[in-house]
Chain A
Amino acid sequence: GENVEQHPSTLSVQEGDSAVIKCTYSDSASNYFPWYKQELGKGPQLIIDIRSNVGEKKDQRIAVTLNKTAKHFSLHITETQPEDSAVYFCAASPPSGNEKLTFGTGTRLTIIP
């Protein structure tokens, strides 16, 4: 089955700087890669996703890059703000529709004011 590794487990960044979180996956058939943000006591919130037919996707301060050959994808947050502090999870899913997601272990991001 799919295995997703996520690094780092914790990340502290000065406000205004950029943050990068990286994930690798094992199943080359996976073709959907979402990123979720989870605040304390809440459910995960989808913040951006990418499919294997593109290499990069951007939404304002958030971007995701995908390298299918190396089987890794990354989340980039620029101009970080205190409200970006949360736990971030990457995930991977195989094709075929409504298949279960395999999650990474999470990254606790702290933005230092």
Chain B
Amino acid sequence: GAVVSQHPSRVICKSGTSVKIECRSLDFQATTMFWYRQFPKQSLMLMATSNEGSKATYEQGVEKDKFLINHASLTLSTLTVTSAHPEDSSFYICSAGSGTSTDTQYFGPGTRLTVL
């Protein structure tokens, strides 16, 4: 149980285009999902907390207009990187609460974004 999926696993896009990443909790309902960004050989940096049916809460320094987050259902949250630039290239990972424990987070497999 407690499986989180992400799609796509890899994406390459041109500068100026927008990319949408999906995060799904497959066998539980997630009231809250989290989006992280990870640079090579570094720890996970929380970008935003996504709550179902309400606006996401962004961490300091994260541009909400650039990283659009939608959490339309209890099993799906999306992150859209708008007008992507090479500096947005990174590994994006989502996590979701297990539903049985309010603390435990399970992570998706990540999405490798490369902006040319």
**Residues of A that sit less than 8 Å from B by CB:** 32, 34, 36, 41-46, 49, 51, 89, 93, 97-101, 103-106
Contacts and interface: CB of A to CB of B under 8 A. Distances in A.
Contacts of B93: 43-44
Given A43-B93, A89-B43, A97 B102 contact: yes
B107 interface: yes
Contacts of B107: 36, 43-46
B87 interface: no
14 contacts: A34-B103, A34-B104, A34-B105, A36-B107, A42-B109, A42-B110, A43-B93, A46-B104, A46-B107, A51-B103, A89-B43, A99-B103, A100-B49, A101-B46
Q: Which 8 A-B pairs have the closest CB atoms?
A: A97-B102, A43-B107, A32-B103, A98-B32, A43-B110, A43-B109, A44-B107, A103-B43
Interface residues of B, number: 22
Interface of B: 4, 6, 31-32, 34, 42-44, 46, 49, 93, 97, 102-110, 112
A92 to B, nearest CB: 10
B82 to A, nearest CB: 23
Contacts of B46: 100-101
Contacts of B34: 100-101
Contacts of A45: 107
A103 B44 contact: yes
Contacts of B104: 32, 34, 46, 49
Contacts of B109: 42-43
Nearest to A98: B32
A49 to B, nearest CB: 7
Given A43-B93, A44-B93, A98-B103, A105 B110 contact: no
A103 B106 CA distance: 14
